Structure 1
Amino acid sequence: MDRIDLLKTFVTVVNEGSFTNAALRLNTSNQLVSKYISQLEKKLDVRLFNRTTRKIHLTEAGYQCLQHANHILESMNDMEGQLGLLSTQVKGTLRVSAPVSFSTLHLSSCLSAFQKQFPDVSINLQLNDRKVDVVDEGLDVALRAGVLSDSSLVAKKITTIKLALCASPSYLKKYGIPEHPSQLKPEHYLEYSHVNYENEESELIQALKANAQKHTPRLTANNGEVLSDVAAQGEGYVLQPTFIVAEALKNQELVSILEDFVPQSISLYAVYPHRKLVSSKLRVFIDFLCEFFKEEPYWDQ
């Protein structure tokens, strides 16, 4: 029996005037009520009631205990009420971490639409391509692309992310269109430094990894937009998600190559700490992301 329940039993006895009436109010036995009062007296090391055959009377310690108990229980009720409002009302601040390029290219329009629909929710957005610790950094949710390994977090899929190996028409005219990963020129690879293909078994990735061990890539950067722009200028080839290169592919500034060898699609996830007690502001935010980007996102259509 925890202390809050002991205090509730004590206050009920006082309010009902007897152990028997308290037992009826609490839907329990007279013996159990007596046991709980004894436990509370033992914990506090005081006598709370003077008992006669017909009545009970609070001792001086009992009066003091009643004042504290009422205050504690009222505070508990207030806290439960306030937290209950947080779980049902869509308001407050959401602390969100998201990848840089995805956010600058696509998330801003989503956030604008979200806040028009939910004006009482404030967004504190932190852009970072590194893997953040959601709990340690006090975040409500992080958007992550790729394969997730942290089982202590809850992950909700937002959308599918396709990958494309790209080069400019001028580059392909100069060096030819490769038909197999072995024909790629490793010194022309424009490498994204944050990517982790440790468990990727595709032939293309294996070739890129093997080449990287022998040759220093022409350019390594932690931003996919920069790499894609350099590729569009004819300086090499790049493996990037289509949310970055889709526009360049449509405008024929880049051309997709070796499509049969490109790794399988990955996913964008909303990652958050707890499956239970998810606030309404977080729940509607994740649902909004899923509806906005859908299974097949607009940049791939």
Structure 2
Amino acid sequence: MDRLTAMRAFVTVVAEGAFTRAAERLDTSPQLVSKYVSQLEQHLGVRLLNRTTRRIHLTEAGSAYHQRAQQVLIEIDDMENQLDDLQTQAQGLLRISAPVSFAIRHLAPLLSDFQKAHPAVGIDLQLNDRKVDIVEEGFDIAMRIGRLKSSSLVAKRIAPIRLVMCASPHYLETHGIPEDPQDLSGHRYLRYSYMEESREPALKWLRHNSGSHLSEMTSNNGDVLVEAAIAGAGIALQPTFISGRAIKQGKLQVVLPTHEPEPLGLYAVYAHRQLLASKVRHFVDFMEGYFGDPPYWDRF
């Protein structure tokens, strides 16, 4: 027995005063309505209605049950209407995980514009360069940079992420401009520590083509490495969403442009494709194309 269906049949019979009129309202047969009410009585172990050929009467138990059942059905209808609103209108708290440098440099305008378009959505943005567990840590969306492997998660590519080798003009004047990957031997390499060789082709490429181990400065933050490169500390392999402005301003110079690694991708990653919350669907759609093609940070 579908208890909610039986409960709704009972409440409708009471409201209409007859099984026939209740059946018309529920768009079903009087026999089926009667069956639902009988099943409900059997389940509860009490008689809810006294039936005569002309009228129905609530029993004492039926009167008490009717009052509670009516309230339950109202609350269920309200809850379903609220869920329907969540699916058709973007609202609620959107929890986002994003890489530190990208978020600081490029997410604030997007989030502001999104909330102007969807004022009922709150934003909880958490910055972390580690790979978060979306489900376990309660995030709606994680923004990730890399080449994503297949998983149970859904990933939508938002923008290409270009990687360039760059150094300050002063550093290159002092140490020479590499014309070939083999010329990197002896230069100082400013290494991003999360770019593991085993997982990141760009670093593997650099190791393979440099001809020898490079002396290094290591950091887990790309902004620090770019600033170090600007200060003349060495050559950095960094995404243009961090280094692009300094390149455009002449503070950094791209080296080995013909040996540029294959671009990575900026992805919006979320847990489910079906029954996707409206706030997530609207945010993912809003991000698509927002940064331009090519992204504005690559226009130098």
Contact kept? 1:146, 1:266, Cα under 8 Å: yes
Choose 114-123 or 19-28, whichever is displaced more.
114-123
| CA RMSD across the alignment | 3.1
Q: What are the within-5 Å matches in structure 2 for residues 170-189 of structure 1? A: 170-185=170-185, 188-189=188-189
CA distance in 2, matches of 1:219, 1:252: 22
The aligned counterpart of 1:285 is 283
Give deviations 1:91-127, integer Å, cap 9, x for gaps: 5433222211112212223333444454554322221
- Residues 182 and 207 in structure 1, CA contact (< 8 A), matched pair in contact too: no
Once structures 1 and 2 are overlaid, which stretch shifts more, 9-18 or 276-285?
276-285
> Which residue is equivalent to 2:241?
243
User: Percent identity among equivalent residues?
Assistant: 53
Cα 1:175/1:43, change in 2 over 3 Å:
farther
Distance 1:65 1:216, change over 3 A: farther
Please say if residues 9 and 37 of structure 1, whose CA atoms lie closer than 8 Å, have aligned partners that are also in contact: yes
- Say whether 1:252 aligns with 2:250: yes
User: Which residue number corresponds to residue 228 of structure 1?
Assistant: 226
1:217: Cα distance to partner? 5.5
SS at match of 2:237: strand
TM-score w.r.t. structure 1 length?
Answer: 0.83
**Structure 1 residues not aligned, in runs of 5+:** none
In the alignment, the residues of structure 2 paired with residue 46 and residue 186 of structure 1 have an alpha-carbon distance, to the nearest angstrom, of: 90
Q: Is the 1:187–1:215 Cα contact (8 Å) retained in structure 2?
A: no
Structure-to-structure mapping, 1:80-95, within 5 angstroms: 80-95=80-95
Aligned partner of residue 142 in structure 1, secondary structure = strand
Q: What TM-score results when the alignment is normalised by the length of structure 2?
A: 0.84
* Contact 2:96–2:125 (CA under 8 A) maintained in structure 1: yes
Match of residue 2 from structure 1? 2
Query: 2:287 corresponds to which letter in structure 1?
Result: L
Q: Secondary structure at the match of 1:293?
A: coil
Change in CA separation of 1:44 and 1:149 when aligned onto 2, cut-off 3 Å? farther
CA contact (8 A) 1:191 1:217 kept: no
Q: Aligned partners of 1:126, 1:133: CA distance in 2, in Å?
A: 13
Counterpart in the other structure of 1:104: 104
Q: Deviations over 1:19-43 (max 9, x none)?
A: 3333332222334333323332343
**Paired positions, count:** 299
- Asked if structure 1 preserves the Cα contact closer than 8 Å seen for 2:187 and 2:235, the reply is no
1:265-276 alignment, distance < 5 Å: 265-276=263-274
Change (3 A) 1:201 1:149: closer
- CA distance in 1 between counterparts of 2:52 and 2:119 reads 61
Alignment-derived partner of residue 14 in structure 2: 14
Residue equivalent to 1:129: 129
